[in-house]
Amino acid sequence: MPSIHEHAQALADRTVALRRDLHQHPEIAFEEVRTAGVIAERLRALGLEPRTGVGKTGVVAVWDSGRPGPTVLARADIDALPVPEEKDVPYRSQRDGWMHACGHDGHTAVLLSVAELLIGRGEELRGRVAFVFQPAEEIVRGAEAMLADGALDGIDADHAIGLHLSSMHPLGVVAVREGPSMAATDSFRLTVHGRGGHAAKPNETVDPIVVASHLVLALQALVSRETDPVDQAVVSITSVHGGTAFNIIPEAVELKGTLRTFDAETRARLRRRIHDVAEGIATTFRATVTPDWTEGSPAVVNDAAATARLRAVAERVVGPDRVVTNAQMMGGDDMALWLQRAPGCYFFVGARGGEASAWPHHHPRFDLDEAALPIAVEVLAEGIVDLLTA
Ligand code: NI
């Protein structure tokens, strides 16, 4: 039997080819029909019986060694973004306006190769692995949809594991952090209702533009003046819409924004305070406000023991000097929900090899250094084997 390293290298061409195929055919949140078909076909070829259409376009397949042992949930996200690709590569997106600009094509290919690798070494393993291919990570709705649709029915997972390829980290570096690692992401809309009228007679109106302006500034105090500086949080107003002409005071202004937090209590408090401040400011200036809150994903929290184990595995695979403690990230990921079902670890594998792979995630020129793919396969496979043999 070849080593896992040799096995991952032997699968490298297949992993890259699959990633390129997916890259050419990106599908955005909940539209991953072709993608799910490719995944299911590969899993069937491995002798598994995938459940498809889980949470609309998710796929779940359980491999059972037939020997007692723990159950490991391994998750990959599969969706692309509504970003028009600007790279000129042979595997360029064939879909106008859509692109795998975050590397989820790589995650899908990596997890399929991990499945192939583990099943190929099934004789030396015990326990079960639940392979979860999740749609709609980019709108943080896919995990929720899959769980609501019974993705884990009959699967009592002991551990959860997953990875994100990263153009923010050098090729082959594994970055991981214990505890709260990625932020909870909530979004909100605040509609300020005034009374419209002629711009030359503001006294006969309630100007929602002035009220919204006060509100945007007042909300900035919630983090700067009310939140412990060592507890990270962000309140951003990202959209302001109101008015049509230079001489009309509009009826209403709509603000949109996002709240990012790590601590559950801080999250609840800031949500409450955003509502309080909005109402207070509106009342002060004779307006009213309608808040509309959309709860996103909770924070990604890595289990301490699982993180220590993954770190040890990664140090063996890529070398101790190439395993780093990741900074906390204000971006979110609904891997958080799988980690709430089973303690585990979500980690990053560096895929920045040169200039072509140095663009930020979600950029029209984003790309992966594909040499990261077999490394990711190896680290993830070793991580799962480690959990199975615990
Ligand atoms: Ni992503």
pLDDT tens-digit profile of 365-389?
999 999 999 999 999 999 999 999 9
Question: Residue 312 corresponds to which tokens in the numbers above?
Answer: 């040890």
Cβ within 8 Å of residue 155, ≥6 positions away: 60, 62, 71, 73, 128, 130
Ligand 1 midpoint to CA 305 (Å): 25
Q: Specify the pTM.
A: 0.91
pLDDT at 156 over 80: yes
Ligand 1 midpoint to CA 104 (Å): 6
Ligand 1 midpoint to CA 151 (Å): 21
Choose the catalytic residue: 77, 85, 116, 137: 137
Q: Side chain identity at 227, as an amino acid letter?
A: T
CB of 274 within 8 A of CB of 258?
no
**Catalytic residue at 137?**
yes
> How far is Cα 72 from Cα 108, in angstroms, rounded to an integer?
17
Same fold, 4-180+299-388 and 184-294: no
Residue 179 C-alpha from the chain's centroid: 17
DSSP 8-state class, residue 113: H
pLDDT at residue 54, rounded to an integer: 98
Q: What angle do CA 317, 323, 328 make, to 5 degrees?
A: 140
Ligand 1 midpoint to CA 192 (Å): 33
Question: Given 3.30.360.10, 3.30.70.360, 3.40.50.150, 1.20.1440.230, which CATH number is that of 184-294?
Answer: 3.30.70.360
Torsion of CA 364, 84, 108, 74, to 10 degrees: 70
Ligand 1 midpoint to CA 101 (Å): 8
Ligand 1 midpoint to CA 163 (Å): 10
Q: What residue segments make up the domains of the chain, in order of their start? A: 4-180+299-388, 184-294
Ligand 1 midpoint to CA 331 (Å): 9
Through-space distance between the first and last CA atoms of the chain, rounded to whole angstroms: 21
CB of 259 within 8 A of CB of 235?
yes
Q: How confident is the model at residue 390 (pLDDT cuts 50, 70, 90)?
A: confident
CATH number for the domain whose boundaries are 4-180+299-388 = 3.40.630.10
* Mean pLDDT of the residues in the chain: 97
pLDDT at 355 over 80: yes
Q: Which residues surround ligand 1, an ion (CB under 5 A)?
A: 102
Q: What is the pLDDT averaged over residues 278-306?
A: 97
pLDDT tens-digit profile of 301-341?
999 999 999 999 999 999 999 999 999 999 999 999 999 99
Ligand 1 midpoint to CA 259 (Å): 19
Ligand 1 midpoint to CA 277 (Å): 33
> Which residues share a beta bridge with 51?
60
**Catalytic residue at 77?**
no
Ligand 1 midpoint to CA 81 (Å): 9
Choose the catalytic residue: 27, 32, 77, 79: 79
CB atoms within 10 A of CB 223: 21
Question: Residue 99 corresponds to which tokens in the numbers above?
Answer: 């692109």
CB atoms within 10 A of CB 218: 15
pLDDT at residue 61, rounded to an integer: 98
Q: What is the pLDDT averaged over residues 239-258?
A: 97
Residue with tokens 């082959």: 172
Residue with tokens 């028009």: 84
Q: Among 301, 220, 304, 210, which residue's Cα sits nearest to residue 257?
A: 220
Q: What is the pLDDT averaged over residues 225-245?
A: 96
pLDDT at 174 over 80: yes
Ligand 1 midpoint to CA 76 (Å): 10
Ligand 1 midpoint to CA 31 (Å): 16
Helix axes 33-45, 104-120, angle to 10 degrees: 10
> How far is Cα 16 from Cα 8, in angstroms, rounded to an integer?
12
